[in-house]
Amino acid sequence: MKHLESVEQFNELKDNEQVIFIFSAGWCPDCRVIEPVLPEIEDAYPQYQFVEVNRDEFIEVCQEHDIFGIPSFLAFTDGKEAGRFVSKDRKTKEEIEQFIDGLTA
C-alpha cells in the first residue's frame, strides 16, 4: 500500500484516480487491529488505489475533509467524494468491505 507523501499527491490522486484514503496513525491501536487484513482488502478491490494517510503528518488534510476519528476511510472517484467511513470506532474487515461495496462509482 502506498503512503501519502505530500498534500499535492493527495490532490492529484483525489482528482484523477479511483482512490481510497485510509487515515491512520502509528499510535492508534484500532488502526493496528485492521492492518493485517488491509492487503486482502486491497487485493479484493483492484479497481481502487489504496493510500495510507498518516493523520499526524497530514492533520490539515484531515481537518479539510472532516476526519475526526481514525481509522477512517475516504473514497474519491474523478475528484468527487464517492463515500466515507469516518468514525473513531474500531472497524472490522466485513464493515470495511461493506463500505467499499456500497461506494458510488
Please tell us whether the domain made up of 2-101 is placed in CATH 3.40.30.10.
yes
CB atoms under 10 Å from CB of 11, counted, come to: 12
Per-residue pLDDT tens over the stretch 58-72: 999 999 999 989 999
* Catalytic residue list: 28, 31
Per-residue pLDDT tens over the stretch 45-60: 999 999 999 999 999 9
Residue 102 has pLDDT above 90, yes or no: yes
**Residue 12, φ and ψ in degrees, nearest 5:** -60, -50
Residue type (1 letter), 32: R
Per-residue pLDDT tens over the stretch 15-26: 999 999 999 999
Domain boundaries of the chain, sorted by first residue: 2-101
* Mean pLDDT taken over the chain: 94
